[in-house]
Amino acid sequence: MSQKLVRSSLAALLTTASASAMILASPVYAQDETADDEDTIVVTGTRIERPALEAPSPITSIGAENIQRSGELSIVDILNEVPALVGSTDNDDAIAGGIGSTGLTLLNLRNLGTNRTLTLVNGRRHVGGSGATTSVDTNTIPIDLIERVDVLTGGASSIYGADAVTGAVNFILKDDFEGLSVRAQGGLTPDHGDAATYLASVTAGKNFMDDRGNVVVSFEYSKEEGLNNSDRDFASDGLFSLLDNPDFALEGSADRRRQVFFQDATIRFASPEGGVAIDFFDGFDLLFDFEGDGDPYDQGEVITFRNSIGGSSTRISDFQESLTGDIERFVGNVNTRYEFNPNVTGFLELKFAQVSSFNSGNPAFSDLIPINVAENPFVPDVIADAANSAGADFVFISHDTFELGRRTEDIRRRTYRVAAGVETTPFPDTFKNLNLDLSFVYGRTDERFIAENNLVLDRFYAAMDAVIDPGTGQPTCRSNLDPDALPPQIPFPGGFGFLGFFDAFNTTVTPDNYGTTSFFTPGPNSGCQPLNLFGLGNASQAAIDFVNDDSLREATIEQTVITGVFSGDTGGVFELPAGPVGFAIGGEYRDEQSEDIPPIINTEGLTFGNRLFPTVGGYDVIEGFAEIRVPVLKDLPLANLLSVDAAVRVSDYSTIGSTLAWQTGAIWAPIEDIRFRGTYAVAVRAPNIAELFNPQNQSFFLPDDPCDIDNIPQAADPGLRAMNCATILTPLGVDPMTFQGDDILNATFEGVQGGNPDLSEETAKTFTVGFVLQPRWFENLTLTADYFNIEITDGIIPPASQDIVDQCVDLPSINNPFCDLISRRSDGGLNGLEVIPVNVAFFETSGIDYEVNYFFDPADIGMSNLGQFNLRYVGSYLERLDVVSLPGQTPDEERDETATLLGDDAPVHIGALDLTWFYNKFSANYRWRYRSAAFRDEIDEIDAAASGVDNPPFVPFTEIETSAVSTHDIQLRYEVRDNAEIYVGVNNMFDQEPDIGSVQTPVSAVGRFVYAGFAFEL
């Protein structure tokens, strides 16, 4: 049967099933299985055994049933329901995460960064998912092997070490399973018949040696088919783009928005047909005369220097990358435990995971290539005639090279992990409450990244420099005839030759290295094929193949962790009136190593991409830690329970030296029905390998020049800025009173961006206080609420390029670290910038998390035959989320809620409701997820008429507010026989689309999605 027929049949089946689901449905979620109050276990966030409800830190748990009832194939999409994790990176978000991020799913607590969230598996560390970081790719964790997921919010560095600045997420896997469990699921969009997903998992477990041992084997496969921007109207036709506001004015004006939304905007500098300029030097206002095929060039409605509405230029929507990537996962696990004797148990966990992903991105583009009119055979006659009439020997073509193929990312990550250890009671006769746990963890991730359609610049320049071969009369490359030939050298104002002009944009090609590399040297024997980019579709496949290359980048991450912990309590030795004192003391050694090797073609700077160098680095750390729990009061009036906790960790890093983390907490239950809890922690995060050891890679920047005479008044102190700019410009022979920053020549300029080996740790102070209410008079109801506050000082962050150039001239003197990162040309223009991470940022977030859990059986009040209901609501109120990326400032002076955290201002309210109805062998699950409105601008009132918002391309200011978003999911399950179920579900039932100007947030671009599956156990 053909794939098309299979998918159409599946679409019909699921569409019918989803319709039935919407008719029959009634709400969702099974109550999480939790330990009995009297059971003592090791809960997430402590190494001391205790009843689960006696932990002072708030923990949200997601159980295995909840995961399967979501219908999601990515665990991040499920955990995004926890408000503290809404900023996490799922498969959709990874597309926008930058080069090489496709396929990564990373957890992000409190929107303070994936590098500040620690991900654990069975309470132990896990190797990172991508080069030079410790952030774990949750795609490597098998969904159907998860017993539960604990989300601990608040600093936990004293318990688990660095990276747990904002908390930890602990995946607890099944380790005592016997039998066979099988699940299969498939789904797609009923409206479009695309974005198909597939899942198949098998878990088998067996006890052996008289039940002293158990082995669990798990295999899981899943596939998600990606989407292109052309698959959704909101991402292609009529895409809204947030661009510079042409009506932006100075203080006191009605319109203070720097950016507004435009519909169907274009990029003025190029077109798919090629934009051809004959007289480029006329005032440096880039106005093309012709399209590449010779038709007159339509400039459209010019709105800014870089953008127009309509016309011949390339639409911004054409540059969108894949909406979602292709993801294929295979995860295999073998977990075994064996009791050697009643006092010694050993365990072994083995894992292999392979995650393959594919993403189609933007094509390469060219910037104003000079073409010799008399010699190049591809110049259309109408353009040649116009050039000859103007007395121009050269024309300039700028072409968005879609016909050369979009650049793509084909990434495969393989993860290997082994965890082994023993859990023992070393002195069972004398200290039966003393336990010793020893564990060893080794993990490795191998990353292979193939960049397809990587434009090779010296080949591209040689192919564009076409002439007629006098021997054949056919077009050929000039370099085929003259091995010493260079592309035309046209002098530009400011001392730039042609290649230097390209260098100012996006290459490192110069006359010194053009054609001299040992790789793709154009010449008589290079196989150079002439490239025709005049018009669309005129480039030969031979020329396209010649200028493109598929390059390979490889990275490896390795992690080794050795841990030893003594834990127990003083029972049998001494006890306080409220019980024995619990404690844990131990040590840990951890080694992190990473190697990221780009292709030599990139290292040599021969491609359209930036010049990149290898990252090789690592560190190790030796740590000692201790934890104590002291029961103070118990079973007394107004003191049903009172206990205090404390923990401390001392770490010695090979990179930054010693650090100290500690925390203290308490829990007080005046009566059995309510418990108050609170923690205060000082957590630390050491810089990761990338932040420390990244080389000084080539990058390009686009800040506004603060010394431009038009930008002087925008400073907080214009007089100070003017004085400092004069100090910089006058020695260059530039009049600061008339100086204007560059337009075309400085559209982007080259700089470097890399690591900083002089970084130190960042420090977080976290505070939580809240309560747990379980009223005896209202059985099966649990209410929790916790206030949180996190402040991070000396935060590691690379300052924005705009901040660097502004601070250079806005500080009291130009003798400051920011000016040391900048260089200028002899004409005063910016032409160099160094961006490195520094310990200068301040982060603060605060708010309230709350949760309601209620299980209701109508039979308890005499209403039989109605089934049972379980309700869970998890919500959060965000009080503030501040970032200050420069030293010496406070949030009141610069409150930036968007720059590095969410992309948009954070929603104030986030909630997820889950309601499940159980009736005999049938269950129905309903999920409602809510995000309140957020703003992209802090100005609340504006004069619409003065700002020109009535102009059709503009979006009125009231629509710049991101609207409140609700999505609704439903799933129906039926038990066809004991331990065998079939199910069908619909996610995003009402087809909620992403916000205006977005293709991925706050909901997936996929839209309404239906799925069906079955599961059984033997």
What is the DSSP-derived secondary structure letter of residue 89? B
Whether 798 and 784 have beta carbons less than 8 Å apart is answered as no
| Contact indicator for 83, 876 with CB cutoff of 8 Å | yes
Query: Looking up tokens 């503290």, which residue turns up?
Result: 84
Q: Using DSSP bridges, classify how beta strands 749-753 and 830-835 pair: parallel, antiparallel or unpaired.
A: parallel
Look-up of token digits 């038990």: 975
CA geometry: angle 283, 289, 294, nearest 5 deg: 160
DSSP designation for 578: T
- How far is 166 from 111, CA to CA, in rounded Å? 9
Task: Identify whether the C-beta of residue 796 lies closer than 8 Å to the C-beta of residue 837.
Answer: yes
Residue 41 CA, chain-centre distance (Å), reads 34
Regions in the chain scoring below 50 on pLDDT = 1-38, 249-256, 283-284, 489-520, 744-746, 888, 890-904, 936-960
Cis peptide before 475 (omega within 30 of 0): no
CB 682 within 8 A of CB 704: no
CA angle 321, 324, 325 (to 5 degrees): 90
Sheet of strand 118-121, all strands in order from the earlier edge strand to the far edge: 59-63, 146-153, 167-173, 118-121, 124-125
Residue 97's pLDDT is: 59
Chain position carrying tokens 């295979």: 330
Q: What b/e string do you get for 987-997 counting C-beta neighbours within 10 Å, with b at 16 or more?
A: bbbeebbbbbb
Residue with tokens 């619409």: 944
pLDDT at 1000 (0 to 100) = 72
What does the CA dihedral 504, 507, 508, 511 come to, rounded to 10 degrees? Answer: -90
Q: How far apart are the first and last CA of the chain?
A: 31
How is 776-788 classified by DSSP, letter by letter?
A: TTSTTEEEEEEEE
Q: What CA–CA distances, in Å, run from 810 to 557, 725, 803? A: 41, 9, 10
Strands 167-173 and 118-121: parallel
Please report which helix (H) or strand (E) contains residue 20, including its range.
Answer: helix 3-24
Nearest Cα residue to 399 out of 500, 527, 269, 491: 269
In 689-800, alpha helices (H) = 689-693, 718-729
CA atoms lying within 13 Å on the CB side of residue 104: 27
Sheet with 394-398, strands from edge to edge, namely 290-291, 275-277, 394-398, 369-372
> What is residue 565's predicted lDDT score, i.e. its pLDDT?
95
Q: What is the pairing mode between strands 1009-1017 and 213-224?
A: unpaired
At a CB cut-off of 8 Å and minimum separation 6, what does 481 contact?
467, 469, 524
* DSSP three-state, residue 369: strand
E strands present in 78-131: 118-121, 124-125
Which of 477, 541, 538 lies closest to 294, judged by CA? 538
Strands 1009-1017 and 980-987, how do they pair?
antiparallel
Check residue 353 and give left, alpha or beta (phi > 0: left; psi -120 to 50: alpha): beta
**How confident is the model at residue 6, as a pLDDT?**
36
What distance in Å separates the CA atoms of residue 936 and residue 898, rounded to the nearest whole number?
8
* pLDDT on residue 516: 36
Q: Is the dihedral of CA 786, 789, 792, 797 positive or negative?
A: positive
CA dist 46 and 625 (Å) reads: 12
Q: What is the pLDDT of residue 94?
A: 65
- Using CA atoms, how far residue 1014 sits from 46, 69, 146, 174, 984, in Å, is 37, 12, 18, 20, 9
Q: Which two tokens stand for residue 843?
A: 């982060």
- What's the confidence (pLDDT) of residue 800? 85
CB 843 within 8 A of CB 797: no
Residue bearing tokens 């510079």: 244
Q: If you compute the radius of gyration of the chain from its CA atoms, what whole number of angstroms results?
A: 31
Asked if 850 and 785 count as a contact pair (C-beta separation under 8 A), the reply is yes
Judge contact between 513 and 461, C-beta under 8 A. no
Decide: helix, strand or coil at residue 100.
coil
- The alpha-helical segments, DSSP class H, found in 370-508 are 381-390, 457-464, 478-481, 498-505
The residues with which 846 forms a beta bridge, in sequence order, are 789, 880
841 vs 797: CA distance, rounded Å: 6
Q: Which residues pair with 868 in a beta bridge?
A: 918
pLDDT at residue 731, rounded to an integer: 93
pTM over 0.75, yes/no: yes
pLDDT for the residue numbered 66: 87
**Which pLDDT does position 884 carry in this prediction?**
78
Do residues 268 and 310 make contact, with C-beta atoms less than 8 angstroms apart? no
Q: Which of 742, 791, 881, 863 is nearest to 285 (CA)?
A: 742
Three-class HEC string of 913-961: EEEEEEECCEEEEEEEEEECCECCCCCCCCCHHHHCCCCCCECCHHHCC
As given in the structure block, the two tokens for residue 803 are 């901040």
- Asked if 611 and 700 count as a contact pair (C-beta separation under 8 A), the reply is no
Dist CA 125 CA 136 (whole Å): 9
Q: Kindly report the CA angle at 553 between 550 and 558, in degrees rounded to 5? A: 155
Token digits for 291? 């399209």
Distance, in Å, from the CA atom of 246 to the CA atom of 304, rounded to the nearest integer, reads 6
Contact criterion met (CB below 8 Å) for 24 and 924: yes
- Residue 710's pLDDT is 86
pLDDT confidence of residue 18: 35
Give the pLDDT of residue 146: 92
* DSSP three-state, residue 766: strand
Minimal CA–CA distance to 190: which of 403, 28, 17, 431?
A: 17
